[in-house]
Structure 1
Amino acid sequence: MRGILKLAYKLLVNDRAKFVTLLVGISFSVFLMIMMLSMFAGVLNRASSTVINIGAKIWVMDPAVNTVSNSIGLPDYTLDAVRSMHGVKYAVPLFSGGALVKLDNGTYQPVTVIGLDDSSLFGRPAMAEGRIEDIYAENSFIAVRDSEFSKLGNPSKGTTFELNDHRGVIVGTAQATTSSLFGIPTLYTTYYRAIQYIPNPRYTISYVLVEPKNVADVQQIQRQVQSLGYLALTREQFERRISNFYVFQTGLGMNIMLMTTISFIVGLSISGQTFYTFILENIDKFGALKAIGTSSRVLIFMILFQATFTALTGYGLGIGLSTLAMTLAKMRLPDYAAMLTYKNLLLALGMVVIIAGFSSYIGIRRVLRIESFDIFRG
């Protein structure tokens, strides 16, 4: 069997032009698929940036909420009710809202304001400059140093701005695990300062963040919250809810799926046509092998080996190219949101397997139909 594989390999790489064409077709297809899927994964990850950065285990919200940016205010009694529930270690309010700030140079910039619980500052970010305790100072805000930080004029400690005719002061900068999706900078302050500075409807609590006593209490807390007419989701469930909204209720999921499908069809057509041409050019060699007693099973094994070897090599090259492209893009473009995940790699691998199977099927059909006397008669 080792000799058969060696022969199949030599037949495959003997015509370098055809072999390179096969690799280029599959590599380009994998490159496009990975780029599309990684971009989609990055967008979905950034859509949940607030959930990831805050890090609460349970989020209590209105059942109509689909994304973290479109919160619906909760009555004040909701916070008290959740705090009194069995299994709740503690619960704190969170404000999340949009605002328009006037910078020192006179320009206006939309921002997202996160109001943390005044007592605990639960969900506070890791500080890059300054102290978190300075958030209690008058008019104080903390700017998040992410890809949108420059839109605030790269503020340093002591930088001032205006928010709804209120004076604001940057008392520090913080690091965020994930940047926001829509290109809007983020400011942290205390909960009560946020609701004083930003006009709000009657209900000002965007979310109630809950820390359960232990993991076993999570489902019980969810049932108790549901009895109040509200929704309690774990961090993973909330992220999945946000992802489902962008996948199924916006055009984003459909557009990415179409682009990925087109990339798959391109790779399928190029590899299939090229591999069929390769089989036709080597049909006399396969016929000679059949004439000297090589079984159809061995011939099929040779073709499967050739198709699999080409597909996996092209897959590796495509992954390498896409990883290099994403790395260079992130170095030059701070807002670039692509993220390589295991699911993307497995999905692309599955599509490559289909490409290899299709190419093998075309080659096998042609080889099994040849007759030895036709080869020698020619």
Structure 2
Amino acid sequence: MKGILRLAFKLLVNDSTKFTALIIGITFAVFLMVEMTSLFAGILNKSSSTVINIGAKMWVMDPAVQTIASSIGMPDYVLDAVRSIDGVKFAVPLYSGAALVRLRDGTYQAVTVIGLDDTTLYGRPKMKAGRIEDIYAENGFLAIDDAEYGKLHSPPLGADFELNDHRGVVVGIATVSSSGLFGTPTLYTTYTRAIQYVPPTRYTTSYILVEPKSPADVAHIKAAVAALGYVAYTKAEFMRRISHFYKYETGLGTNILLMTVISFIVGLSISGQTFYTFILENLEKFGALKAIGAKRHELVAMILFQATFTALTGYGLGVGLCAGSISLARLRIPGYAAMITYGNLTMAFAMVIVIAALSSYLGVSRVLRIEPFDIFRG
């Protein structure tokens, strides 16, 4: 069998033009599939950036909330009621809202303002410069050094700005795990200062962050919150809710799916047609092998080996090309969202297997029908 496979490899690479066309077709298809799904995965990850950065185990919110950016204020009594639920270790309010700041040069910039609980500062970011305690200073804000930091003109410690006719001062620079989706810088401050500086609605509590005493208390907390007319999600559940919104309730998921399907069809058509042409051009060689005693399963093994080799080679090149392009894009565009995940790679690999299987089927069905005397008679 080893000799048969070696012969199959030589037949495959002997025609460099056809072999190159096969590899390019699969590589291009894999590149598009992984690129599109990686972009989608990156967008979904960034859409939950605040949830990831805050890190609370449970989130209480209005049932109508669909994404972290579409918060709906809750009355103050909800916080007191949640704190009184059995199984709650502690619960703190969180403010999340959009604002417009005026920089020193007179330009305006949209920002996201996160107001942390005054007492605990639960969910605070990791400090890069300055002290977290300075957030209590007059007009104190923390600027997040992420991909959008430059939109605030990369303010140093002590830089000031204007927010709704209030003076704000950068007392610290911090970092977070994930930058936001919509390209707006983020400012952290205390909850009290946030609701004073940002134009308030009737209710100011965007979310309530809950720390359960144990995982066993989560179900009871959810039921108690539901009795109040609100909902409680774990961190993972809230992220899935946000992902569900972007997948199925916006055009984003449909567009990415269509691009992935188109990439698959392109790869399948190019590789299938090229591989079938390759088989047709080598029918004489397969017929000669059959005439000198090659068994049917050996011929099938040759074709399967050729299809698998080209598919896996194209897959590796496609993934490498995609990883390189994403890395290069991140160097040039700091806020570039694409990220390669195991799910993306698995889906692309499954599609490549389908491409290899269909290409093999076309080749096997043609080769097994050939009769040696047809070759020699021609």
TM range (shorter): over 0.9
| Aligned counterparts of 1:363 and 1:55: Cα–Cα separation in 2 | 54
What TM-score comes out, normalization by structure 2 length? 0.99
| Aligned counterparts of 2:305 and 2:230: Cα–Cα separation in 1 | 57
| Aligned counterparts of 1:227 and 1:292: Cα–Cα separation in 2 | 80
Q: Shift in Å at residue 47 of structure 1?
A: 0.5
SS in 2 for 1:287: helix
Per-residue CA deviation, residues 215-274 of structure 1 (Å, 9 max, x unaligned), is 121122112111211111111111111011001000111111111111111110110011
Runs of 4+ in 1 over 4 A off after TM superposition: none
- The one-letter amino acid of 2:277's match is T
Is 1:343 the equivalent of 2:347?
no
Per-residue CA deviation, residues 279-322 of structure 1 (Å, 9 max, x unaligned), is 01110111111112222222112111110111011100111111
Q: Which runs of 5+ in 1 are unaligned?
A: none
RMSD: 0.8
Is 1:258 the equivalent of 2:258?
yes
Match of 2:201 in 1: 201
Match of 1:40 in 2: 40
SS in 1 for 2:221: helix
Per-residue CA deviation, residues 114-173 of structure 1 (Å, 9 max, x unaligned), is 000000000000011100000000011001000000111110111111111011101011
| Aligned counterparts of 1:350 and 1:65: Cα–Cα separation in 2 | 36
| Aligned counterparts of 1:278 and 1:222: Cα–Cα separation in 2 | 61
Match of 1:150 in 2: 150
- The one-letter amino acid of 2:359's match is S
Identity of matched residues, %: 67
What TM-score comes out, normalization by structure 1 length? 0.99
Match of 2:333 in 1: 333
Q: Which runs of 5+ in 2 are unaligned?
A: none
Q: Shift in Å at residue 9 of structure 1?
A: 1.1
| Aligned counterparts of 1:303 and 1:70: Cα–Cα separation in 2 | 55
Aligned length: 378
| Aligned counterparts of 1:3 and 1:78: Cα–Cα separation in 2 | 75
SS in 2 for 1:95: strand
Match of 1:244 in 2: 244
Q: Shift in Å at residue 27 of structure 1?
A: 0.6
Is 1:284 the equivalent of 2:284?
yes
| Aligned counterparts of 1:88 and 1:6: Cα–Cα separation in 2 | 67
Per-residue CA deviation, residues 73-111 of structure 1 (Å, 9 max, x unaligned), is 111111111111111110000000001111000011110
Match of 2:113 in 1: 113
Is 1:97 the equivalent of 2:97?
yes
- The one-letter amino acid of 2:93's match is P
| Aligned counterparts of 1:76 and 1:177: Cα–Cα separation in 2 | 30
| Aligned counterparts of 1:364 and 1:64: Cα–Cα separation in 2 | 56
- The one-letter amino acid of 2:109's match is Q
Match of 2:367 in 1: 367
| Aligned counterparts of 1:230 and 1:256: Cα–Cα separation in 2 | 33
- The one-letter amino acid of 2:261's match is T
- The one-letter amino acid of 1:317's match is L
Per-residue CA deviation, residues 35-94 of structure 1 (Å, 9 max, x unaligned), is 111111111100001000000000001111000000011111111111111111100000
Is 1:127 the equivalent of 2:127?
yes
Match of 2:313 in 1: 313
- The one-letter amino acid of 1:326's match is I
Is 1:14 the equivalent of 2:24?
no
- The one-letter amino acid of 1:62's match is D
SS in 2 for 1:86: coil
SS in 2 for 1:69: coil
| Aligned counterparts of 1:18 and 1:224: Cα–Cα separation in 2 | 66
- The one-letter amino acid of 1:240's match is R
- The one-letter amino acid of 1:13's match is V
| Aligned counterparts of 2:201 and 2:272: Cα–Cα separation in 1 | 61
SS in 2 for 1:334: coil
| Aligned counterparts of 2:289 and 2:95: Cα–Cα separation in 1 | 75
| Aligned counterparts of 2:270 and 2:163: Cα–Cα separation in 1 | 57
